Amino acid sequence: VVNLLGISITVLFTLLLVFIIVPAIFGVSFGIRKVYMKTLLKIFQWATLRIERGAKEKNHPLYKPYVNGIIAKEPTSLEQEIKEMRRSGSGRALDAPEFELSDIFYFCRKGIETIMDDEVTKRFSAEELESWNLLSRTNYNFQYISLRLTVLWGLGVLIRYCFLLPLRIALAFTGISLLVTGTTVVGYLPNGRCKEFLSKHVHLMCYRICVRALTAIITYHDRGNRPRNGGICVANHTSPIDVIILASDGYYAMVGQIHGGLMGVIQRAMVKACPHVWFERSEVKDRHLVAKRLTEHVQDKSKLPILIFPEGTCINNTSVMMFKKGSFEIGATVYPVAIKYDPQFGDAFWNSSKYGMVTYLLRMMTSWAIVCSVWYLPPMTRQPEEDAVQFANRVKSAIARQGGLVDLLWDGGLKREKVKDTFKEEQQKLYSKMIVGN
């Protein structure tokens, strides 16, 4: 009996694999994932209602994550506030260029406000949800769960870890090995249309399998604006999965540093079939070399569009941070792409200071699904009166607007470094202008 059980499970498993891989090869979809998504949503809503009911019964306040911040910040300027303070205080003339003891109140209050709640620090930790998605990692009100809910959660754990996880790992394994072998084989063919055709399809097929390995449910908008040869595709960056999501719908040339290990093997195999732009570790520091190679690639119209993530680091998908200007100096047409994840089903943000790559991938594969929307925006070129930084900011605003993300001036590098002193000097200049006059 045990033998029979083992055999039937293996057969079932293999059938499932085939059922998933075959459509991936041809790029068709049965819509099963969408049905799965709808069912899950209904279950989550039910779960959240139960928690709220449970909390009400016990008469406890529920923790509600409030995304717009917790304090009311006055939108008045430095000048207005100080004038007001002086008016209500000593009643002195407002244009008298003097320092008042009370002027310090304004700066003090502003400082405490930012300590309580600031725009940037919260971008580097995962977004908080308003309804519970049956993952204990996102639940902050854990003690209000009834028996029924616990059973449901337990069932969820069983499904995710014992059924979905092995299935996904098998798919990922298949996808990656097919990619490596496929591109190596194609690499032996002589250059020509046949090679290109095969290379494109091998890449697309393997990325599609990987998409299914994560149960990623992606909605593409405006596919007519997809990047063309000789262009650069820029997108906001939330996780390494972004690459898989974009590359499963288009044929791109990747840019990046050569790694060791498994990544390195994949990279070396890929470049045999089609010209990706890989840099050695030493070359990455040399900005001119990087710019030169990218320019050469872009000018060759037969080469594929380059895929770049100008933020330079992973942001938690509620905002877009400063774009590094390097890719905008090259002078090619830029095709912006906005990627917005729906955190309900699984948070795709990679907090690299908290989780390593392997832990991150495991978390991804034990989530329910990765749901996201991809918008292809119309191409942009640099105008004659703009410099690279202004162009980068223009592209950034377009992406932020489309994705419904907050457009921030700050640099993603703030995840790890301090702010420069120049910002403090700005406020000092403003205040001193007020006191002393120009």
Partner 1 sequence: MGSAHSVPAEMRELADRTGFTSEQIEHLHRRFKQLSRDQLTIRKENFDSIPDLEFNPIRGKIVHAFFDRRNLRPQADGLADEINFEDFLTIMSYFRPIEMDMDEEQLDRFRKDKLRFLFHMYDSDHDGKITLQEYRNVVEELLSGNPHLEKDSARSIADGAMMEAASICVGQMMWQGIDIETKMHVRFLNMETIAHCY
Looking at residues 59 to 88 of the shown chain, list those that interact with partner 1 (rule: CB under 8 A).
Answer: 61, 63-64, 66, 68-72, 85, 88
Q: Find the binding residues for partner 1 in span 129-158 (CB under 8 A).
A: 130-131, 136-143
Residue 90 near partner 1 by CB under 8 A: yes
| H helix intervals, 188-240 | 193-213
Can you read off the two tokens belonging to residue 79? Answer: 């000048």
Q: Which stretches within 228-305 are classed as H helix?
A: 241-247, 261-273, 281-284, 287-299
Least spacing, CB of residue 234 vs partner 1, in Å: 24
Q: What is the nearest approach in angstroms of partner 1 to the Cβ of residue 110?
A: 6
Nearest distance from C-beta of residue 404 to partner 1, angstroms: 15
- Each residue 396-435 as x (binds partner 1 by CB under 8 A) or -, in order, gives --------------x---x---xxxx-xxxxxxx-xxx-x
375 CB contacts (<8 Å, ≥6 apart)? 221, 222, 337, 338, 340, 402, 403
Q: From the CB of 76, what's the least distance to partner 1, in Å?
A: 12
The least CB distance from residue 65 to partner 1, in Å, is 9
Angle at 43 between CA 368 and CA 219, to 5 degrees: 50
Among 21, 47, 103, 215, binds partner 1 (CB under 8 A): 103
Candidates 16, 120, 198, 258; binder of partner 1 (CB under 8 A) is 120
The beta-carbon contacts of 423-428 under 8 Å, at least 24 apart in sequence, are: 427/78
Q: Which of 23, 36, 54, 105 binds partner 1 (CB under 8 A)?
A: 105
The window from 16-24, 123-131, 326-334, 362-370 that contacts partner 1 (CB under 8 A) reads 123-131
> Hey, which residues between 291 and 330 contact partner 1 (CB under 8 A)?
none
How far does CA 284 lie from the centroid of its chain? 23
Query: Which listed residue (36, 50, 54, 113) binds partner 1 by CB under 8 A?
Result: 113
Minimum CB separation from partner 1 for residue 101, in Å?
Answer: 6
DSSP 8-state assignment for residue 221: E
- Count of residues that interact with partner 1, criterion CB under 8 A: 71
Contacts of 389 (CB under 8 A, 6+ apart): 325, 328
Judged by CB, which is closer to partner 1: 128, or 386? 128
Closest among 71, 55, 70 to 132, alpha carbons compared: 55
- Using CB under 8 A as the binding rule, the residues of this chain from 10 to 69 that contact partner 1 are 45, 48, 61, 63-64, 66, 68-69
Q: How far is the CB of 64 from partner 1 (least distance, A)?
A: 7
Distance CA 200, CA 275 (A): 12
Using a 10 angstrom Cβ sphere, with 0-12 exposed, 13-18 middle and 19 or more buried, the burial of residue 244 is: buried
> Which position among 9, 116, 158, 162 is part of the footprint of partner 1 (CB under 8 A)?
116
Query: Least distance from C-beta 216 to partner 1, angstroms?
Result: 23
Determine the angle formed by the axes of helices 147-158 and 32-58, rounding to 10 degrees: 150
- H or E element, residue 278: strand 277-279
Could you tell me the smallest distance in angstroms from the CB atom of residue 97 to partner 1? 8
DSSP 138: G
Interacting residue with partner 1 among 83, 100, 266, 390 (CB under 8 A): 100
Q: Residues 3, 31, 59, 91: which binds partner 1 (CB under 8 A)?
A: 91
Closest CA to 208 of 16, 368, 29: 29
Question: CB of 179: closest distance to partner 1 in angstroms?
Answer: 37
Residues ≥6 apart with Cβ < 8 Å to 333: 228, 230, 231, 232, 379, 380, 381
**Residue from 19, 26, 99, 161 binding partner 1 (CB under 8 A):** 99
Q: How many whole angstroms separate alpha carbon 214 and alpha carbon 106?
A: 50
According to DSSP, the residues that pair with 335 across neighbouring strands are 233
33, 50, 110, 303: which one contacts partner 1 (CB under 8 A)?
A: 110
Cβ proximity to partner 1, 144 vs 335, nearer residue: 144
The token duo for 318 is 């509620």
